[in-house]
Chain A
Amino acid sequence: MDILLQQIVNGLVQGSVYALVALGYTMVYGILGLINFAHGEVVMVGAMVALTMTQLLAASGLPPLVILLIALMTSAGVCMALGYGIERIAYRPLRNAPRLAPLITAIGVSIVLQNLAMMFWGREYHAFPALLPHSTHMLAGAVINDVQIIIVLVALAVMACLLLLVHRTRLGRAMRAVAENPSAAALMGVNINGVISVTFMLGSALAAVAGIMVSANYGIVHYYMGAILGLKAFTAAVLGGIGNLRGAMLGGLLLGLIESLGAGYIGDLSGGFFGSNYQDVFAFFVLIIVLIFRPSGLMGERVAERA
């Protein structure tokens, strides 16, 4: 088995998930200039709701794929409502407040969501039922299973749809207009609040998809899963250039690769001193290094602050 190739495969799978979550960060940032700190928790809620749906439907005798689809629709619906609610309650009243204020309400929201989830679903790890086929294939020396293939394909499809939506539809044009210049967009008759709400809902729906993907891939769901995932996805968004959709996709994939290659080779590189349990460190190092050397990210433009 080829370790390099295997790590690349793993990295791409993980990276697709990061990319989907990163899109949620980047869309909100592009429009509001705000880090939606609670986004990671939306991913977690998506996974949890899907879990509950699959458990409820387990005895129904429906085919697994149908169950999964119903679970997906439900959790996307719940997450969209959640995203809408978060924006209305925690961000909209603070739109003209100092920058740090919405960041702090966002932290508050994620604490609340995490603890509510803990109350509903408990502290323990839950097994996510295997609803997708998971036979494994050999691909040029690397092992990949059906779930992983599906994850990558779905992620690509969702991203393609999103790009079409943003660049080819009226709604997308309104979103870009608001991102570019909110007051001008308002003068042109764009309903800014509507666009912002839709953006949050779109991002949250993507988060639901991502949540189900991670759960299906690892087979495990946990109330704390959103925090670190969200942080890494944010890193991915920054890496690609925050506010930039293609950047978020690229950043997600890159971060997935960096992490899995890093974890695969750190042992060899450090002479066995560091092991793969340092995997989580890579994302943060990448984040710090990117922000120091290229704060605008790989695909972002430099913008000077106006004086």
Chain B
Amino acid sequence: MTAANNVLLDLSGVGKRFGGLAALSDVSLHIRRGEIYGLIGPNGAGKTTLFNVVTGLYQMDDGQFTFDGIAYDRCKPHVLAQAGIARTFQNIRLFANMSALENVMVGRHLRTRAGIWGALTRNAGARAEERAIVKRARDLLHYVGIASPHQTLAKHLSYGEQRRLEIARALATDPKLLALDEPAAGMNATETESLKALLQTIRASGVTVLLIEHDVKLILGLCDRVAVLDYGRKIAEGVPEEVRRNPAVIAAYLGGEAA
């Protein structure tokens, strides 16, 4: 297996500024297929900004990145979603007044094709597609373990279920890379534990996972490799145990949780 083939997402020299603030500077990293890659760093380090750059919500100022061997620059988010990057949001962004099921069904949008004509005539093709969408969405809701009725509005789900629903919605796009922005935030220990199991299952199904997390135990227990951002720079990268002992990382966290 060649190295290039093995790499799914490859960032080199990525920079992003907001006015005078360098939210990312010269960040290079590569994520291999099938791994769970952790991204950690203090608050405001630029983790979410990195997500926004690779999902097309922000345009980077310097550098480039390739995904699955193709370079993307100034691409719209939906193009990157099409390419196979799906994400969740740090501050949950569900379609609040749509049901849990519909939220996941929206995720199928880019893998299905029925248009106005199909909607109006409900021809055999459109009906079959719609049935497949519903079935897949139900399966995914079970898969991520949402116990509430599928017709519940997203905004009425519990916090933990909302986070899971975001994951289900992202999975519905058939991603190659699943990018999760602090999925365990606000979860209790049991919920975190079952989230961990879920992420392992997802990885086992062949999806690569990029994970932002503050929960060090989760990162240690789950990630194959970890990168540390601080003030927009990558200050360390490696297997979790190694990174944990890295003096620069300890300094960045001021002897905090990572020490």
In the assembled complex, the Cα of A304 lies from the Cα of B57 at a distance in Å of 9
- When distances are taken between beta carbons in the complex, the residues of chain B under 8 Å from A307 are 48, 51-52, 57-58, 89
A169 CB to closest chain B CB (Å) equals: 27
Nearest residue, chain A, Cβ from B90: A307
- The A interface is mostly helix, strand or loop, or mixed, namely loop
Specify which of B48, B51, B58, B89 is in contact with A304 (CB 8 Å cutoff). Answer: B58
User: Within A252-307, which residues are at the interface with B (CB < 8 Å)?
Assistant: 301, 304, 307
For A301, the chain B residues whose CB sits under 8 A away are 19
Separation of A304 and B48 alpha carbons in the complex (Å): 14
- Give chain B's interface residues, CB within 8 Å of chain A: 18-19, 48, 51-52, 57-58, 89
> Can you name the residue of chain B whose Cβ is closest to the Cβ of A304?
B58
Residues of chain A within 8 A of B57, CB atoms compared: 307
Q: How many residues in A have their beta carbons less than 8 Å from beta carbons of B?
A: 3
Q: How far is the CB of B90 from chain A (nearest CB, A)?
A: 9
CA gap between A134 and B52 in the complex, in Å: 61
Beyond A307-B51, A307-B52, A307-B58: 6 further Cβ-contacts under 8 Å?
A: A301-B19, A304-B18, A304-B58, A307-B48, A307-B57, A307-B89
Q: Which residues of B contact A304 (CB under 8 A)?
A: 18, 58
4 closest pairs, A vs B, by CB?
Answer: A307-B57, A307-B52, A304-B58, A307-B89
How far apart are the CA atoms of A177 and B18 in the complex, in Å?
20
Q: Shortest distance in angstroms between A184's beta carbon and chain B's nearest beta carbon? A: 15
A301 vs B51: C-alpha distance when bound (angstroms):
24
Taking CB atoms, residues of chain A closer than 8 Å to B52 are: 307
Give every chain A residue within 8 A of B48 (Cβ-Cβ). 307
In the complex, chain A residues whose CB is within 8 Å of the CB of B89: 307
**Complex formed: what's the CA distance from A7 to B65 in Å?**
54
How far does the alpha carbon of A244 sit from the alpha carbon of B54 in the complex, in Å? 33
| A304→B23 CA distance, assembly (Å) | 13
A126-139 CB contact bits vs B (8 Å, 1 = yes)?
00000000000000
The closest CB in chain A to the CB of B18 belongs to A304
- Within the complex, the shortest CB–CB distance from B177 to chain A, in Å, comes to 17
Q: How far is the CB of A98 from chain B (nearest CB, A)?
A: 10
CA distance A307 to B89 in the complex (A): 7
CA of A307 to CA of B48, assembled, Å: 8
Considering only CB atoms, which chain B residue lies closest to A301 in the complex? B19
Give complex CA distance A213, B258 in Å.
Answer: 66
* Nearest CB of chain B from residue A170's CB, rounded to whole Å: 27
Question: Could you jot down 8 A-B contacts, CB within 8 Å?
Answer: A304-B18, A304-B58, A307-B48, A307-B51, A307-B52, A307-B57, A307-B58, A307-B89
Q: For residue B166, give the distance in angstroms from its CB to the closest CB of chain A.
A: 13
Write out the residue numbers on chain A whose beta carbons fall within 8 Å of the beta carbon of B18.
Answer: 304
Residues of A close to B58: CB separation below 8 A: 304, 307
A301–B57 CA distance with the chains assembled, in angstroms: 18
Chain A residues within an 8 Å CB radius of B19: 301
How far does the Cβ of A100 sit from chain B's closest Cβ, in whole Å? 13
Residue of A nearest to B58 (CB): A304
Chain A nearest Cβ from B64, distance in angstroms: 20
- Closest beta carbon of chain B to A1's beta carbon, Å: 49
The distance in angstroms between the C-alpha atoms of A307 and B18, with both chains bound, is 14
Cα(A47)–Cα(B19), bound, Å? 43
A68 to B58, CA, bound (A): 54
Q: Which A residue's beta carbon lies closest to that of B77?
A: A307
| Smallest beta-carbon distance B88→chain A, Å | 11
Cα separation A207 to B58 with both chains bound (whole Å): 39
Q: Could you mark each residue 39-79 of chain A with 1 if its beta carbon is under 8 Å from any beta carbon of chain B, else 0?
A: 00000000000000000000000000000000000000000
User: Closest Cβ of chain A: how far from B85's Cβ, in Å?
Assistant: 14
A301 to B20, CA, bound (A): 13
Question: What's the Cα separation between A160 and B79 when bound, in Å?
Answer: 49
Distance of B181 from chain A, by nearest CB (Å): 9
CB distance from B47 to the nearest CB of A (A): 12
A161 CB to nearest B CB, Å:
30
Once bound together, how far apart are the Cα atoms of A301 and B19, in whole Å?
10
Nearest Cβ in chain A — how far from B96, in angstroms?
A: 10
Which A residues lie within 8 Å of B51 (CB)? 307
* Chain B proximity of A255: nearest CB distance (Å): 28
Nearest Cβ distance between residue A123 and chain B, in whole angstroms? 43
Cβ of A138 to closest chain B Cβ, rounded Å:
49
| CB proximity of A301 to chain B, nearest CB, Å | 8
Q: How far is the CA of A280 from the CA of B109 in the complex (A)?
A: 43
A304 to B89, CA, bound (A): 16
A301 to B48, CA, bound (A): 22
B164 to chain A, nearest CB (A): 20
Q: Measured between alpha carbons, how far is A304 from B58 in the docked complex, in Å?
A: 8
Residue of B nearest to A305 (CB): B57
Bound Cα distance A301, B18 (Å): 11
A156 to B52, CA, bound (A): 44
A241 to chain B minimum Cβ distance, whole angstroms, is 16
In angstroms, Cα B181 to Cα A307, docked, is 11
With both beta carbons as reference points, the residue of chain A lying nearest to B51 in the complex is identified as A307
Closest approach, in angstroms, between the C-beta of B109 and any C-beta of chain A?
19
